[in-house]
Amino acid sequence: MAKITNTETTEIVMTNNIALEGKNIRIQEYKINSMEPDNYKEEIRFDYSATAEDKASYMANKADFRQQETAFEDKVFAKIEEIKAQNTAK
């Protein structure tokens, strides 16, 4: 009889939509695999509907946007550490 194995994984998607005056301008998305949390995928982009004017507003407020991006990254990396700790405890 063949030996059958089963490996289950979970992918966690964390998304941060950063808006300026109510309009999404910048999007951060991280995908974290439960089995290999250090091999996360990261995507940071302008919203697909962001206009040239929106992008100029981003540049004019870049320091504030970067603050928001960094705060979100801190949450993502804390989640990665949490997953790694859970994997170690198994």
pLDDT exceeds cutoff 80 at 90: no
Q: What is the dihedral of CA 27, 45, 84, 37, to 10 degrees?
A: 140
Domain ranges of the chain: 11-89
Q: In this predicted structure, what is the pLDDT of residue 27? A: 94
Q: In this predicted structure, what is the pLDDT of residue 71? A: 98
Binned at pLDDT 50, 70 and 90, residue 9 comes out as: confident
**Tens of pLDDT, residues 13-66:** 999 999 998 999 999 999 999 999 999 999 999 998 889 998 899 999 999 999
In the structure, how many helices (H) and strands (E) does the chain have?
Answer: 2, 3
User: Position of tokens 């194995």?
Assistant: 5
C-alpha 45/C-alpha 15 separation (Å) is: 11
Tokens matching residue 57: 């507003």
